[in-house]
Structure 1
């Protein structure tokens, strides 16, 4: 099996490549250094020659809705067309829990990406992940103000990059789902509590202030927008374990 991975050099992509190789498949990472530009389609026809599966774990360079939408529209449309022309049998894309019901911010950009994959002639699978552990740190940094750290009090099951990569790789080597698989961490918690734990471990004394108006990936969300469904695949790594390893 030959699996082509878009976004292979990123945090999630590098772990996904490693997990795919654990399955014993041939992995072909796509990169601009290798002559492939997803936004223009340059080099895709050659890179996808003989590919059985395309895995897309790319991330937009900006969380702003307009910029992210523009990126995902072009960086997904070209691979989808090239996959169909090359006879690829399975297209797997990594997305976010909440994409199906949040219509603003980065979520709307991801919904554009999902729609392009779903409507292509190539059999597909979508893996939606809950927020990564690293996202908690990003939210805390973005919410830092003079009076404290403003964090939306959202419920979720934060997940490790390793667990997400394992889920993506498992889906990629199987039959197309023609459906969505959610993947999440083993424990439910509020972002505010996770941020407070993070700051404590890092020795910061700033107060975490629950703020329902604080944005998450450019969107103001209802309390349970990031909670996966009951059938979500659950990973093994906890947030506390991740912090201890830092």
Structure 2
């Protein structure tokens, strides 16, 4: 299914270039799917990130998933430029791997704001439409936790939006490819990885309202924090405690 993306006259795609990280010192602000997800969690933390360059503290992060992601992408590259799909997904997805593969996309809203994103993979179907793909690692079979799919819906929508706004008509779907360790009693023979492909319908038209909402928040004074934001709650409690002890 080919879709068309209505763009206003001031909103145009731009070639891949290194964007500014935040809106300090008058630099252009590039929003992203991940950044807009922060707005849903806490408007104040979102505003501080883009307006002041103040990010939420990071916890301890395992790099194992990052390493596995690199291995998967190298594996897919072996089949790029051919009509053959990687055997682990053959029969579960349609098309061929985009070649050459364009990873980064940018959408220009105006001189102050834009929207950017990075695809893990992209398929080109026989009818010339494009299907975004995202690789996911999981600790168990993702089909058991179906709510996990919904959490990535907006991500695939964002990828479809970026493809459409850069002149690449989309197929109306996106793929999440999950990799998780399969149970085995013979670890000395290696860990077997199970692969599950989940296909979701994409809605690129849902992305512009999210972008506009983010811009509206950033154009206003610093907003109130979310009542559930653990970072803002911690800061408030510390702020209330320290003056009383001095």
TM-score normalised by L of structure 2? 0.25
Higher relative contact order (CA 8 A, sep 6+): 2
**Larger radius of gyration between Structure 1 and Structure 2:** 2
